[in-house]
């Protein structure tokens, strides 16, 4: 007999470096999602239908082995080695973590408490940007609980304005972007910045895992696709960018919920700051990060996806917020492609807008109508509505950005040159 709340999924993580033990605290859940790691590396996940009962160590071992056989065999053949010295960023390279927030004190407090645990010998600056400052804002009080946190105020509404304010003020050579509703695990920061040991790397993104699936909206957001981009590391560069015949799929590379950048890209004349007509808090709703990735790749920079640098994310817990999020994502996706078309002259956007995107939406609807998917038709129709609203949303956002004016910009303390790739150099 089905129980109310059957959509709930328990979230657990195991480490193969330790003896497997039964999972006994999941008797309130029909299913359990187990994330598997070893020596700090996230290997994959497996969903187990535990039907409101505990999971024995034997069953857990069998399920993990069956689901991750290929990964485990490859890892066994390669061995589990410590990172090479060349893959570690020098300990004196300063890092700034920028966290925009808007009246979410509980999320921010959890986020900052976890970030404080990342402090070590590396110079680390933590900047909180209050995007709705004022006497009633709870952000200042939360920030004061952490004595080494820098608080900035950015009154111009919009996530891009807030992130840009933080990036402009940051002193680090590497600038990290996270959202206030993520929680970072021990060792996350060093895993995120490690790829910058290679001078051609201009940005690094990490995986984003759900910290809970307790609500219908959280379950459906994971069915929609969630924020994670898988468990396989990869890198892309200018060759990948120019080889694409259709639109460059920068939305598959990660997000600024968990990303890091060389500071010098933000003063590069062809890259620069986040586009303030894109992103949460604007009519377009999102895609400021995917357009930044686009500009980095267009200038032959390299972007690395490193799933070992994972974070926990708290998805929205009510249906109205989920609907707004999916509608915004759909508007922003179209706005991104129109931006690459109109600003960059990239006609590959027309293939996505005129063919592959309508085809993907039609396929999702077809699978639902054939009962091969339980993703709600109402959310599919919302995606279609957002897609159709994308051009109007972009026009509104451009007008809004012109009215508000540009946000904060980094000073030219770094000169940036191009010699087949983006490099950061000292100012003259």
Give me the pLDDT at residue 72, please. 83
Give me the pLDDT at residue 365, please. 94
What is the distance of C-alpha 28 from the center of its chain? Answer: 30
Average pLDDT over residues 198-217: 96
If DSSP states are collapsed to H, E and C, what string results for 222-291? HHHCCCCCCCCCEEECHHHHHHCCCCCCHHHCCCCCEEEEEHHHHHCCCCCCCCCCCCCCCCCCCCHHHH
Buried b (16+ CB within 10 A) or exposed e, 344-365: eebebbeebbeeebeeebeebb
Looking at the predicted structure, is the pLDDT value of residue 131 above 70? yes
Sign of CA dihedral 225, 227, 233, 239: positive
Whether residue 302 contacts residue 201, with contact meaning beta carbons closer than 8 Å, is answered with yes
Tokens 């409101």 sit on residue: 52
Average pLDDT over residues 298-306: 97
Beta bridge partners of 124: 95
Give me the pLDDT at residue 40, please. 80
Whether residue 107 contacts residue 314, with contact meaning beta carbons closer than 8 Å, is answered with yes
Q: Considering only CA atoms, which of 49, 65, 54 is closest in space to residue 16?
A: 65
- Quick: pLDDT tens for 7-55: 999 999 999 999 999 999 999 999 999 999 998 889 999 999 999 999 9
What are the residues whose beta carbons fall under 8 Å from the beta carbon of 120, sequence distance 6 or more? none
| pTM given for the model | 0.92
Give me the pLDDT at residue 60, please. 97
* Domain locations in the chain as residue ranges: 9-78, 92-319+406-423
Give me the pLDDT at residue 266, please. 97
Q: What percent of the chain has pLDDT over 90?
A: 87
Looking at the predicted structure, is the pLDDT value of residue 382 above 90? yes
Average pLDDT over residues 215-232: 94
Give me the pLDDT at residue 75, please. 77
Query: How does residue 6 score in pLDDT terms, banded at 50, 70 and 90?
Result: confident
Looking at the predicted structure, is the pLDDT value of residue 411 above 90? no
Distance CA 62, CA 65 (A): 5
| Per-chain mean pLDDT for the chain | 92
Q: Say what the alpha-carbon torsion angle 204, 341, 394, 405 is, to the nearest 10 degrees.
A: 70
* From 88-92, 111-115, 399-403, the region with the lowest mean pLDDT: 88-92
Q: What percent of the chain has pLDDT over 70?
A: 93
**Structure token pair of residue 164:** 């840009």
Looking at the predicted structure, is the pLDDT value of residue 288 above 50? yes
Give me the pLDDT at residue 423, please. 34
Could you tell me which CATH class the domain 92-319+406-423 is placed in?
Answer: alpha beta
* From 204-213, 372-381, 419-428, the region with the lowest mean pLDDT: 419-428
Looking at the predicted structure, is the pLDDT value of residue 330 above 50? yes
If DSSP states are collapsed to H, E and C, what string results for 360-417? HHHHHHHHHHCCCCCCCHHHHHHHHHHHHHHHHHHHHHHHHHHHHCCCCCCCCCEEEE
């Amino acid at each position: 007999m089905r129980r109310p709340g059957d959509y709930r999924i328990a979230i657990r993580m195991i480490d193969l470096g330790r003896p497997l033990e039964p999972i006994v605290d999941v008797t309130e859940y029909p299913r359990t999602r187990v994330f598997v790691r070893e020596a700090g590396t996230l290997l994959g996940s497996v969903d187990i239908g535990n039907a409101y009962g505990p999971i024995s160590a034997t069953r857990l071992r069998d399920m993990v082995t069956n689901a991750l056989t290929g990964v485990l065999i490859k890892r066994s053949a390669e061995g589990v080695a410590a990172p090479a010295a060349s893959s570690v960023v020098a300990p004196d390279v300063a890092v700034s973590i920028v966290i925009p927030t808007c009246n979410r004190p509980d999320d921010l407090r959890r986020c900052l408490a976890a970030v404080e645990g990342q402090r070590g010998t590396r110079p680390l600056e933590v900047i909180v940007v209050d995007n709705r400052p004022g006497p009633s804002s709870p952000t200042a009080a939360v920030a004061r609980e952490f004595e080494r946190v820098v608080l900035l105020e950015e009154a111009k509404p919009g996530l891009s304005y807030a992130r840009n304010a933080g990036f402009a003020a940051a002193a680090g050579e590497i600038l990290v972007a996270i959202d206030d509703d993520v929680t970072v695990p021990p060792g996350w920061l060093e895993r995120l910045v490690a790829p910058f040991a290679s001078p051609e790397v201009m940005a690094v993104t990490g995986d984003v895992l759900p910290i809970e699936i307790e609500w219908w909206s959280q379950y459906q957001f994971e069915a929609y696709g969630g924020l994670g981009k898988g468990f396989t590391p990869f890198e892309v560069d200018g060759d990948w960018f120019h080889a694409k015949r259709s639109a460059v799929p920068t939305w598959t590379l990660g997000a600024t919920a968990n990303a890091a950048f060389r500071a010098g890209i933000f003063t590069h004349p062809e890259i620069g700051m986040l586009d303030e007509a894109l992103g949460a808090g604007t009519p377009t709703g999102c895609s400021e990060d995917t357009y930044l990735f686009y500009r980095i790749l267009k200038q032959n920079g390299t972007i690395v996806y490193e799933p070992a640098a994972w974070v926990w994310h708290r998805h929205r817990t009510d249906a109205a917020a989920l609907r707004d999020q999916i509608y915004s994502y759909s508007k922003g996706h179209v706005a991104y492609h129109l931006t690459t078309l109109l600003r960059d002259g990239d006609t590959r956007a027309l293939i996505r807008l005129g063919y592959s995107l309508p085809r993907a939406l039609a396929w999702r609807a077809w699978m639902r109508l054939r009962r091969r998917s339980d993703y709600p038709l109402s959310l599919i129709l919302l995606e279609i509505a957002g897609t159709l609203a994308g051009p109007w949303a972009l026009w509104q956002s451009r007008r809004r950005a012109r009215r508000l004016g540009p946000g904060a910009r980094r000073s030219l303390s770094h000169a940036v040159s191009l010699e087949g790739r983006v490099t950061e150099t000292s100012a003259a």
